[in-house]
Amino acid sequence: MRELRTVLVMVSPLLAGLIRYIVESRIKQPHARLSIVADIDDLEAWPPELGDMQPDLVILGPSSNAEQRAAAWAGADARVLVLSDNLSRVSGPDPCDVDSLTLDTLTKRLSDILES
């Protein structure tokens, strides 16, 4: 089964729950699933073993500041989705990919990443 290994960074518990349960259930691909391999509350605590986790995706929540987001985006070997401060927009996996943040949009982004 194809697994989208995902790390959540500074994502609120409510939003993390929506991603875990709602978005994962909406991914309509046989033999594919979302797997949250880490949930990091602070970029200062970015674990050195993150590379060993080999995530396919990092989702940066709205609690991160612009400098932290840029550093994470530049340093990630995985694809990155960035949620805006007011949770109205999602950026990524390419920096120019910006759209309204809805469960449908997030599901589509994750499905597209799984297909690639």
pTM: 0.84
Question: What is the arithmetic mean of pLDDT over 24-35?
Answer: 78
Give 43-57 as a 3 state SS string: HHHCCCCHHHHCCCE
pLDDT in tens, 43-92: 666 666 666 778 888 888 886 666 666 666 555 678 888 888 888 999 88
Report which of 105, 114, 111, 56 is spatially closest to residue 84, judged by C-alpha positions. Answer: 105
Question: What is the arithmetic mean of pLDDT over 20-26?
Answer: 83
The percent of residues above 70 in pLDDT, for the chain, comes to: 77
Q: Is the pLDDT of residue 99 over 90?
A: yes
The whole domain housing 88 covers 2-115
**What was the pLDDT predicted at 25?**
81
State the burial class of residue 16 (Cβ atoms within 10 Å of its Cβ: 0-12, 13-18, 19+): middle
Number of domains in the chain: 1
The CATH number given to whatever domain includes residue 23 is 3.40.50.280
Q: Is the pLDDT of residue 93 over 90?
A: no
